[in-house]
Amino acid sequence: MKTSITKINKCPCCGFCGLKQPAYENLLSVPVSNDLHPPYSLYFGNPSYEVCPCCGYEFGNDDEPGTGAPATFRSYLNEWIKDGAVWFDPARQPQIWSLEQQLEESGIKV
């Protein structure tokens, strides 16, 4: 069965629209409240473990305690922007792309 890319399949960290599946099974909308802290599976159910091709956030890994401290969507996004907002998978980057537009269209405020 082919998974369709829908509005639900946005990255809750950077707003990229094009994840193969929802980041978390019960995440219904982006943006996510900044009042929620990892692990996000407590709020949204099982993570997909997909890596966002834009920012590189791995749902269920970057927000879970383990080898490093869990990262909030906000802190990860801020670090990614500070480091130049380089695409994790450059082959998936559209020819014309604007981080500001992506964030605005997703309702994510930095």
Q: Could you read off the pLDDT of 48-90 as tens digits, one per residue?
A: 999 999 999 999 999 998 877 899 999 999 999 999 999 999 9
Confidence (pLDDT) at 8:
60
Of the candidates 45, 4, 34, 37, the one whose C-alpha atom is nearest the C-alpha of residue 21 is: 4
Q: What is the pTM of this model?
A: 0.90
Share the mean pLDDT of the chain: 92
List the structure tokens of 43.
């709020």
Of the candidates 91, 25, 21, the one whose C-alpha atom is nearest the C-alpha of residue 54 is: 91
Choice between 2 and 95, residue whose per-residue pLDDT is larger: 95
